[in-house]
A and B are shown apart, each in its own frame.
Chain A
Amino acid sequence: MPFPLPLETLIGKPLMYLVFALIGFGFGFVLEISGFGNSKKLAAQFYFKDMTVLKVMFTAIIVAMVAIFTMVGLGILDFNQVWVNPTYLWPGIVGGLIMGVGFVIGGFCPGTSLVAASTFKIDGVFFVLGGLFGIFMFGETEQYFETWWNSSYYGRLTIMDWLNLQTGVVVLGVVLMALFMFWAGEQLERKFGADNQAPAPKARYVGAGVLVAAAVGVLLIGQPTTESKWVRVAPAKELALANREVQIHPGELLKIVGDDALRVVMLDVRPESEYNLFHIHGAQSIQPDKLASIIPELHAKQALNTVFVLISNDEGAATDAWKVLTAESVPNAYILEGGINNWIATFGGEEVAMRPTPTPAPSGSDTLQYVFASALGDRYSAANPSPHEWELEYTPKVKLQMKRDKSGGGCG
């Protein structure tokens, strides 16, 4: 899956910023030729006289959406690496209402005011200055309602995840909704608008037809499954597994857990009963069949310093889980070498509450090789060894790889 491109590693930072500048150029150019530098044209939207804002915005959204999900469906674009604005529901809604008020009073939104200012519209310049002041004020007052501002967080939540619908169904539904809004918008323009409007070109029916057809296409090709994504990356990743590049020694896991600069997320994929018997302190239990459903959460959580470590009794189930995470392009995923058995062999010492099973299963069978007097979970001392007490020899393997700086996203 080559797209989106890892631009920074591919062409370096200056050229990457040039690409963003060119995209910005296209953005500003199109806004201007659509009339978005003119506040009267923008404000007319709110009096049903000129529905340009609605038409441009929703046409742009459905064209981009259909193109994006076609590419995702064809396996050319990796949706996991596409930035999806995280949902903070109430701050978004209240901020949106405030913006709507600012829009109708000031006549612009931030992007359009830039274009107005760059074409010497004086009201645009005042709006930009006001906008900068408002942004400054937010930075100075955010600390007073920080808790609320970070509340109602749903992470990377898409409409298809929320409604549990197929992507193609949502795409088609959004296209049809937009077409209905265009039809309604044109009716309103006829009723409230000026008489001297340019006649709407017949070509818009062709465009609508193309979009509906493409949306049906998205529905028919479907979205790639985890298995098909794994098939695409398998050659390189099987090699990493075979060369033992991603299996980390218990000593290294202990060290990175103790490293304040890293966030380590330990995912224990064993049956819950075994997790209750013994698990590493801080590990969370997740059943393999639930793994796919937490992928969006992992992507939302993912900061640049996050390391994911998969844990089973040996390595079998952990390796399967690692394949799921890797296929879904979760970066920095590793496997605990030798699993829980190796962990206890390393840190278990003479603890009497757990003994090796009398009849050890053959190695590689991924079964628990210890019996426990009681299900103490992480209350064994071996579950939470002190990083300072252990000096272990191992080859460090964790290398933080950063695909793209996604921090902040579009406007965050």
Chain B
Amino acid sequence: MAFFDIPADEELSPEVRQRLEEYRRLLGLESLPRTWKVFGRCPKIIEARLTAFQNLHYQSRFPWEARNLAVMLIAHAKRCQGCFTGARSQLDKLGFDEATLDKICADPEALPLKERDRLFVHYALKIATGSADLHPKDFREMAEHGFSKEEIQEIIAFAAYWTLNMVFTQSVNAGLMEE
């Protein structure tokens, strides 16, 4: 038996139901991930996660395709199976095949994207996996590649969002595992 249980729809407040439905709709999912629904009895956490998702991931000036490739690679590096599967399913909808995605995971530098989008993915991955190792020269380099300061901050926030989300996903997945 798993430690956490998934609350039934009837147990959720109308506000929580509405917020979860909004998340499902934004991502075009058939059903809600268990790693979100498990928080159904904690409205503040649902609110926090959706606020972060909408502002730090969903609203963005970078293409959806590049964002999902970044998520796949961050999840791969941090071994977050839930986020990895979610990103792959979005990329599948965009027409990427499994073999291409496997190849990208094996060699993240070989992204089949325009240079600017490839660099977005490269920097997002770098920030999410090693923010303690960043140097001023990393930012100068990004600016030389044409990213504005606002865009660089957006990349930082995007990467930070995924470090938050992966803690949620990995932790609750451990508590949702059958013993």
Binding partners A and B: no
Which residues on A are within 8 Å of B, measured CB to CB? none
Which residues on B are within 8 Å of A, measured CB to CB? none
